[in-house]
Amino acid sequence: MRIDKDVCISCGECVRYCPMNAIKMDDVAIIDQDECVDCGVCHKAKVCPVDCIIYEEAPWPRILRAEFSNPTHSHASTGLPGRGTEEVKTNEVTGRLKPGWLAMAVEFGRPSTGARFRDVEKVAMALAGVGVKFEPVNPVTFLMADKSTGKMRPEVLNEKFLSGILECVFPREKGPEVLKTLQKVTREIDTVCSVDMMDLVEPDESIPMEKMLNQLGVFHRINGKTNVGFGRPKYKGGNQ
């Protein structure tokens, strides 16, 4: 995003809309290009009385900022809007998560801080070290130079974005090791991440992951998401 300094009237209306606090007032409003994630909120807010906020599609690798920050901008790698991954929202159809396995998503930069791919790499490499499998149909995985080590492509490391999801699966018994590794490595990153874990519901309505989280003393919220299983055709080999 940029502001046409010849048109800006310095009203400052756009400043509070920026999720990254990247707009500062000088003689006119100025966008810090290193902090800006090209989410488009300043433009979309339609508060500029002289319409001087401009979005121009950026070249590679900066284009990643819009892809990972503007949810209406589909990802080139998956063709999907938002964060570009179905995760387990359609799991009863896709079978991404299979019985006996757990899925985990580490969402960088959320809430309210933004993140850079160098932090993603740090966590991805630590998790790869304990043998998780990264989700192949995911824009973050697509940016890895080596999916077996979690190493990202070097040219993307400094790109900043609002939220990007590192997704992986692992056998249920590996859960404690994965969580301990994540606890350790997230102490070393320069941003926050929202973490979630998914499990399938057993025929008796129990959720095996809950017992593991409680035994490990890992916090989980009272609210979250339930896939009610309406999708068809059902994945063969699923739990229902």
Partner 1 sequence: MTHTLHRMGTKESLSGDYIFLMMPAFGINNADSAPKLRKFFEIALRHKPVNMGDAKRSNMHVLSTLELMDNIDKKGTVVHAVYDNEEAAARALKDLKDADLGLSLVVSGIFENVKKQCQKVGIHRHGVNYSLGIWGKTEKLPPENVLEITTMCGHGLVSAALVSSLAEDVKAGRKNAESAAKEMAKMCDCGVFNPVRAARLVAALAAA
Q: Is residue 29 involved in binding partner 1 (CB under 8 A)?
A: no
Structure tokens at 201: 């519901």
Task: Please say which residue, 1 or 198, places its beta carbon nearer to partner 1.
Answer: 198
Q: Does 5 bind partner 1 (CB under 8 A)?
A: no
* Residue 54 tokens, joined: 């401009």
Q: Round to whole Å and give the CA distance between 161 and 94.
A: 28
**222 touching partner 1, by CB under 8 A:** yes
Residue 41 Cβ, how far from partner 1 at the closest point, in Å? 5
What angle is formed at CA 179 by the lines to CA 198 and CA 144, rounded to 5 degrees?
80
Would you count residue 237 as binding partner 1 (CB under 8 A)?
A: no
233 is an interface residue for partner 1 by CB under 8 A: yes
Residues numbered 62-91 forming contacts with partner 1, rule: CB under 8 A: 69, 71-72, 74, 78-83, 86-91
Q: Which of residues 7-26 bind partner 1 (CB under 8 A)?
A: 15-21
In the complex, the smallest distance separating the C-beta of residue 232 from partner 1, rounded to whole angstroms, is 4
Peptide linkage before 233 cis (omega within 30 of 0): yes
Place of tokens 């991954």: 85
Q: Least distance (Å) from partner 1 to the CB of residue 35?
A: 13
Instruction: State the virtual CA torsion across 184, 213, 115, 15 in degrees, nearest 10.
Output: -130
Does 131 participate in binding partner 1 (rule CB under 8 A)? no
Among 58, 63, 93, 130, binds partner 1 (CB under 8 A): 93
Long-range contacts of 38-44 (CB under 8 A, 24+ apart): 38/1, 38/62, 38/65, 38/66, 38/69, 38/70, 39/65, 39/66, 39/69, 39/70, 39/162, 40/1, 40/66, 40/69, 40/70, 40/72, 40/73, 41/17, 42/1, 42/14, 42/17, 42/18, 43/1
Taking the complex as a whole, the smallest distance from the CB of residue 233 to partner 1 amounts, in Å, to 7
Query: Do residues 85 and 78 touch, judged by C-beta distance below 8 A?
Result: yes
Q: What is the closest distance, in whole angstroms, from the C-beta atom of residue 6 to partner 1 in the complex?
A: 26
Per rule CB under 8 A, is residue 196 in the interface with partner 1? yes
Size of the site for partner 1 (CB under 8 A): 85
Q: Is 236 in the site for partner 1 (CB under 8 A)?
A: no
* Residues 33-62 interacting with partner 1 (rule: CB under 8 A): 39, 41, 44-45
User: Does the protein bind partner 1 through residue 163 (CB under 8 A)?
Assistant: yes
